Chain A
Amino acid sequence: MTNHWVDFKNTDVALICGSNAAENHPVSFSWLQEARDKRGAKIISVDPRFTRTSARADLYCPIRSGTNLAFYGGMINYILANDRYHNEYIAHYSNAASIIKEGFSFDPETGLFTGYDEGRRAYTDRTTWDYERDAEGKVRKDLTLQHPRSVFQLMKRHYSRYTVEAVAQTCGAPVDKLRQVYELFTSTGQVGKAGSIMYAMGQTQFTSGSQNVRCMAIIQTLLGNMGLPGGGVNALRGHSNVQGSTDMALLFHLLPGYMPCPTTGMPTLEAYNATTPPAPAYWSNRPKWIASLLKAWYGEAANPGNDFAYDFLPKAQAGKNYSHLALFENLYNHQDLEGLFVWGQNPVVSGPNSNMESKAVENLKWLVCLDPFENETSAFWKRPGANPAEIDTEVFLLPVTTFLEKEGTVTHSGRLIQYRWKAVDGPGNVRQESFILDRLVKRLKALYAGSDQPQDAMIKHLTWNYPDPLRSQTDFIDAVMREINGRNLSTGKLVPGFGALQEDGSTDCGNWIYSGMYTEELGNRTQSRVLDDPGGWGAHPGWGFAWPANRRIIYNRCSADPDGKPWSEERKYLWWDGARWTGYDVPDFAPTMPPDAPLGKKPFIMMAERESRVFAIGALNDGPLPEHYEPVESPTHNVFNRRQNNPAYFTGTDGAKSLGDVEKFPLICSTWRVCEHWHTGALSRNMPWLAELMPESFVEIGEDLARERNIGNGEMVELVSARGKARAMAMVTPRAHMFEINGRNVHQVGLTWHFGFQGLVTGDIANNLTPHVGDANTAIPEFKAFLVDIRKVTS
C-alpha cells in the first residue's frame, strides 16, 4: 500500500475492485465504517458477484471476471473527457506534460504499440516509448498539456475508445451503474477530497495483471489522490506477512529491498551497478545498498578487492524465467530439479493446473515440507488417483509452529513492521522455522568447510554467527534484526537509517528498506507501542516501524501544492514551513529542500524524472499505456482492438497446450476466498471452529444457469475445464450473475479454492481447473478468469 490500514478512515470514497475486503480483510471495514460515520464516506464495490463487501457498499456494479482493464480504461476516459483530473497536480507531479518521441503509436487494428516482434511475442524495440529531449538532454514538456504528443493528449486519444457504452458491453455492466461508479469515484479529483482504491488478487492474477495495477496508479495520479491521507493505491495483501516476504525477496527476480536479482548478463558488481537508475532517482544509491547487503551476508570475505564477493551470488540465466509457472513446468518435463523445500506453501492446492503440478512433484527425488499439518503437498503421493507404489519421491515432513507459537516480526500491507511475541509453546517437538533454518545452514557449512571449489564459497563464507535459537529465540531474532537494520562496521553501532549506508564496505545491511527499524537511540522500533496520533490522521508514528524511514504515507510531498502549501486546510498533512518540511508524517522528501529548488516540486523520488509515470517509459513488457486484452480463455472477442490476448503474456512451455474455447466451455469462471478459510485451508480446515463454518467446497451459480441446467441449490455439481475437473456443492443465488457481453448472454460462476483432500473438511482442488498461463511482466498465474462447463452430478 502507498497508504495504510488506519488511513481508510480518512477517505471520502473507497473503490473496492478486485477485492472482497469485508470477507478477506475484515479489519479494513472497521476503518471504512469510521470514514462513513465521521466523513460520510461512500464505499463502491465492483465485483463479478454480489459479495459480503457489496452487501455493505453504497454502490455495487457487477463486471465480468477479466475485464478490469476495460473498466479502468473507461474510468480514465471519463476523467479526461469530463475534466475530472486535478490539472495543477498532474502538470507538476506526473509526466502528463512530457512530450513523447515522434514515431510512437498504438494501432487499434493490430492492438499493438510500436516495437513489437511477432515472432518473439515481445516488444523488442521500445525506443519510441520515451521522452523527446532537447539539445541538453532535458525532457521536453508542455505544461499547458496541449501538445499533440504530450502524454496527456496521447492518453486522451488512446482512451477515447473506452466510452461508457463500449466498456459496459465488454464488462457486462449496467451502463447506469458504471456511470454512477465513474461519477462518484472521480468526484475525489476535487481539491480537499480523497479517494482510495483497495485491491487484491482480483486485479493481479490475470495475464494483464500488472497493467491493471498501472491503471490504478494512473487514475490516482490524474485525480491527485496519491500522497494524501485517504488516497493511494492500496494492495490488501493475502497474508499477514506477505508484504514482509516480498520485502525480503521471496521472489524469483529480486534481492532484498526490491533490488534486481543478478543475471548472467551482469557478471561483475560493476556490471550490476551499471543497471542502477540514474540520479536524481533515489534508486541511484543502489550501489551502497548492494555493497552493504553483501557485507551482511559475507562479512570479512566481502571486500572492495573482490567486488564484495559479488561472485558468490547465484546468477539467473539472462532471459530465463524462474517463476512458479516455469519452475513447475521444468519439474513436469524432468528438467533441472531434483529436490524441493516447501515451507509456508501448499502448491498442490494453490498452484494453477493442479493436476499437472501434482504430477510434476512426482518427478522429485526428495521433498521437504515444513508445515503445522500434513497438507496436500506433503501428501501428494496419496492424492486421489495417484498410485503410491509408482512414486519414488522421498518425503520429509517437519512439523513447525503456527503464528501463535513463535515470535518475530510480521510486515503488513501498510508496510508496518510489528514485533509479535509468542502466545503459547507449540505442542510436542514442533519447531520454529528459524531453528530448522539455523541447523540446516550449520550442517551445510560443515559439509562445505573443507572445500576449495569456487562454487562452494557462497556457503563456506556465509556469515552465520547468531546466538543459538534453541537456547533463545529472542536473542537469535534480535541478532538477525540488527543485521537487517545495518551497522557501521568501524564503530559496531547500528546505523540510524539507509541514508548512512556506504558503498565502500564500511557498513552492512540485510535490507536497506528496513534500515532504521532498530537504532542505537530508539532500540527495536518494531516493538514500540506508542499510540500518539499527531494531527489525528491515524499515522501513529510511534507504533511499530513503517518502511521506508517510518513513513506512513509514501509520496506525501504530494499532499502539498507545488509551492509547499497544503492543497486544502481539510487535508493538511505535510507542508513547507519556510525552513523545512513539517507535518504529521516523516517527509518522503529531502526535509530541507525548499519548493523553489530545482527538484523541490518533484515528489516521486524513486524515479529519474521524479514524477508519477502515467506513461511508463520503457518499463513494462506489454506496453507503456494499459490496453484491454481479453483473458486467455474468454467467451468473447476484444472490441477495443483487434488483438484478442495480451501480446506478451507468459505461456511457458506447456500453458498453451491445455486451453479451452467457449464452444466447449461456455461459462466464465473465477476462484475466490471466504473469510472462514485461510489460503489452501491447511490451517483452517484442520480447525473445527472454522471448518464447521464452511464445511464444503461450493460454487456460486446464478438462478438462470441453475434453471437451464436443472441444478438445485445444495446439489453436487462438477465443473470441467480444458485442464481438469472439480466437484463442489451448488449454491444457487441471485448474487451470481448472467452477463450480457457484446450482445450475448454469458453466465459467470466461481468457486472457493480453499479445499483439498487433507484435513477435517475436504473437497476437490479448484485449481484443477485453472490455466497454466501468466502475466506478461510477473508471470503470476491467471487464476481469476477462465472457461468451464458445469454438470449436475447424478452418479
Chain B
Amino acid sequence: MSRMARLIDITRCTACRGCQVSCKRWNQLAGEIGAFTGSYQSHDDLSPGRWTMIKFYEEKKPGGEMAWHFRKATCMHCADAGCLKACPNEALVREENGTIRRIEENCIGCGHCVQFCPFDIPKVDEVAQKMKKCTFCYDRISNGREPACAKTCVPRAIVYGTWDEMAALADERLAQAQKLYPDSRIYGRDELGGLGVIYILPDTPAKYGLPEDPSLPFTLGLWKDVVHPFGKGLIGASLAATGLAFIISRRNAMKLKESAKLEEGGYDDEQQKNG
C-alpha cells in the first residue's frame, strides 16, 4: 500500500469541529467537559483522550482588519518520526501506509516519545501508563476507508489520499488560497522528510503554533544507535532491576525537562543541537 496522507487546508476550515467529534465517536473516547477557556477553543491542548482538536488563532492585522484561523492539531505521522526513534520498547512502528502505529502491549507509558515530538502530540495516560495519540484511523484506512475526520469535513478542508496525491493537490490548493490570503504556504511537504499531514497555512507557521523548521535533536540519533540496544536488552531480561531503574530515571529526567520547558516557554531544538 502507498504512503497515505491528509491535506489540511486551514484556509477552508470553518472550525465547525465536526472532526473533533467524529474522532471521538469513531475511537469511542469520552467527552471531557472542562471549564471555559476564554476562547472558542475547547481545551488548552490534546490529551490522552483527545487525539485531535481545533486550535483557534485570533489576530488583529495592521489597519484594524481581523484574521481568525483554525488549525486542526493532530499527529503528523512524520516520515522522520521522532517518537518512533525515541521509543525504547518498539511500541511504535511505521506501517507501509505511513501510519506511525502504536502497539498497545509494548507501550510502557515512559513518555520518551513526548520529549522528541517537535509538534507536542503524544500524551501519556499516567493511570494506564500508556501513550495515546491519533491512530490515523489505522483500522479504517487499512480497510479502504478514509479517516473519520476527513469523512466528516464539510468544507473539505481535510482531504485524504496517497501522499503523492496530497502533495500534488497542495499546489492546486495553494494557488486558490493565495487569492484570499496572499501569504499562504505549504507546510509539511518538505519538513522531516515529508509529514503525513500537509497543511495549507494562511501565513507563517509560528502564527499557528507550528515550528518554522521542525527537526529532531542530534541526541535522539545517539540514543537510538548507542544507548537503546543496551536498554532493549535489559527489558528483554524481564525488566531486571537495573533496567527498570534506568527507564524510571529517564522518565523523571523527562518530567524535569517538561517543567523547564513550561518555564522557558518552549523547546529550542537549536539549543539542544548546540548543547
Name 24 interchain pairs, CB-CB below 8 A, sorted by A.
A22-B14, A22-B16, A23-B15, A26-B14, A26-B18, A26-B155, A50-B68, A52-B14, A52-B15, A52-B16, A55-B70, A56-B12, A675-B15, A689-B21, A691-B31, A693-B21, A695-B35, A695-B42, A696-B36, A713-B38, A714-B36, A733-B58, A735-B58, A735-B68
**Which residue from chain A places its CB closest to the CB of B41 in the assembled complex?**
A693
Nearest-neighbour CB distance to chain A for B177, whole angstroms, equals 10
B176, A689: Cβ atoms closer than 8 Å: no
Against A, the Cβ 8 Å flags (1 = close, 0 = not) of B196-225 are 000000000000000000000000000000
**Which residue from chain A places its CB closest to the CB of B15 in the assembled complex?**
A52
List 4 A-B pairs, minimum CB-CB distance, nearest first. A688-B31, A714-B38, A55-B68, A22-B14
B67, A689: Cβ atoms closer than 8 Å: no
Nearest-neighbour CB distance to chain A for B33, whole angstroms, equals 5
Q: In the complex, which of the residues B58, B66, B154, B176 contacts A26, with contact meaning CB atoms closer than 8 Å?
A: B154
Nearest-neighbour CB distance to chain B for A202, whole angstroms, equals 17
**Which chain A residues (680-728) contact chain B, with CB distance < 8 Å?**
687-696, 698, 713-714
**Which residue from chain A places its CB closest to the CB of B20 in the assembled complex?**
A693
Q: Is B238 an interface residue (CB 8 A)?
A: no
Known A50-B68, A58-B180, A689-B31; contact A729-B14, beta-carbon cutoff 8 A: no
Which residues from A are CB-within-8-Å of B33?
Answer: 688, 691-692, 695, 760-761
Measured CA separation A688–B21 after assembly (Å)? 10
Which residues from B are CB-within-8-Å of A674?
Answer: 40
B155, A33: Cβ atoms closer than 8 Å: yes
Q: Is A37 an interface residue (CB 8 A)?
A: yes
Which residues from A are CB-within-8-Å of B60?
Answer: 734
Q: Is B17 an interface residue (CB 8 A)?
A: yes
Main secondary structure of the interface of B (DSSP, over half): loop
Interface-central residue, A60, A689, A691, by most chain B CB under 10 Å: A689
Nearest-neighbour CB distance to chain B for A220, whole angstroms, equals 25
Q: B-side interface residues toward A, CB under 8 Å?
A: 12, 14-18, 20-21, 24-25, 30-40, 42-43, 58, 60, 66-70, 154-156, 176, 179-180
Measured CA separation A713–B14 after assembly (Å)? 23
Measured CA separation A97–B30 after assembly (Å)? 64
Which residues from B are CB-within-8-Å of A693?
Answer: 17, 20-21, 42
Measured CA separation A22–B40 after assembly (Å)? 14
**Which residue from chain B places its CB closest to the CB of A174 in the assembled complex?**
B64
Which residues from B are CB-within-8-Å of A678?
Answer: none
Known A29-B155, A54-B66; contact A23-B17, beta-carbon cutoff 8 A: no
A676, B155: Cβ atoms closer than 8 Å: no
Against B, the Cβ 8 Å flags (1 = close, 0 = not) of A642-681 are 0000000000000000000000000000000011100000
B155, A36: Cβ atoms closer than 8 Å: no
Nearest-neighbour CB distance to chain B for A6, whole angstroms, equals 13
**Which residue from chain A places its CB closest to the CB of B29 in the assembled complex?**
A689
Nearest-neighbour CB distance to chain B for A155, whole angstroms, equals 34
Measured CA separation A298–B189 after assembly (Å)? 69
A695, B34: Cβ atoms closer than 8 Å: yes
Which residues from B are CB-within-8-Å of A731?
Answer: 38-40
Measured CA separation A26–B21 after assembly (Å)? 15
Q: Is A568 an interface residue (CB 8 A)?
A: no
Number of A-B contacts (CB under 8 A): 103
Which residues from A are CB-within-8-Å of B42?
Answer: 692-695
Q: Is A30 an interface residue (CB 8 A)?
A: yes
Which residues from A are CB-within-8-Å of B16?
Answer: 22-23, 26, 52, 675
B156, A692: Cβ atoms closer than 8 Å: no
Q: A-side interface residues toward B, CB under 8 Å?
A: 22-23, 26-27, 29-30, 33, 36-37, 40, 50, 52-56, 58, 60, 674-676, 687-696, 698, 713-714, 729, 731-735, 760-761
B17, A675: Cβ atoms closer than 8 Å: yes
Nearest-neighbour CB distance to chain B for A66, whole angstroms, equals 22
Nearest-neighbour CB distance to chain A for B209, whole angstroms, equals 17
Q: In the complex, which of the residues A33, A55, A60, A734 contacts B69, with contact meaning CB atoms closer than 8 Å?
A: A55
Which residues from B are CB-within-8-Å of A56?
Answer: 12, 14
**Which residue from chain A places its CB closest to the CB of B22 in the assembled complex?**
A689
Known A52-B14, A760-B33; contact A689-B155, beta-carbon cutoff 8 A: no
Which residues from B are CB-within-8-Å of A30?
Answer: 154-156
Known A30-B154, A688-B30; contact A60-B14, beta-carbon cutoff 8 A: no
Which residues from B are CB-within-8-Å of A55?
Answer: 14-15, 66-70
Measured CA separation A378–B73 after assembly (Å)? 40
Measured CA separation A760–B30 after assembly (Å)? 13
11 new A-B contacts, CB < 8 A, other than A36-B176, A675-B16, are A22-B16, A26-B14, A33-B12, A50-B66, A54-B66, A55-B70, A56-B14, A689-B21, A691-B31, A693-B17, A729-B38
**Which residue from chain A places its CB closest to the CB of B30 in the assembled complex?**
A688
Which residues from B are CB-within-8-Å of A54?
Answer: 66, 68
Known A29-B154, A29-B155, A30-B154; contact A692-B32, beta-carbon cutoff 8 A: yes
B156, A33: Cβ atoms closer than 8 Å: yes
**Which residue from chain B places its CB closest to the CB of A676 in the assembled complex?**
B17
Measured CA separation A130–B12 after assembly (Å)? 49
Which residues from B are CB-within-8-Å of A53?
Answer: 14
Which residues from B are CB-within-8-Å of A714?
Answer: 36-38
Measured CA separation A731–B68 after assembly (Å)? 15
Measured CA separation A761–B36 after assembly (Å)? 11
Interface-central residue, A23, A687, A695, A760, by most chain B CB under 10 Å: A695
A690, B21: Cβ atoms closer than 8 Å: yes
Which residues from A are CB-within-8-Å of B36?
Answer: 695-696, 698, 714, 729
Interface-central residue, A22, A691, A693, A729, by most chain B CB under 10 Å: A693
Measured CA separation A731–B36 after assembly (Å)? 9
Measured CA separation A60–B16 after assembly (Å)? 20
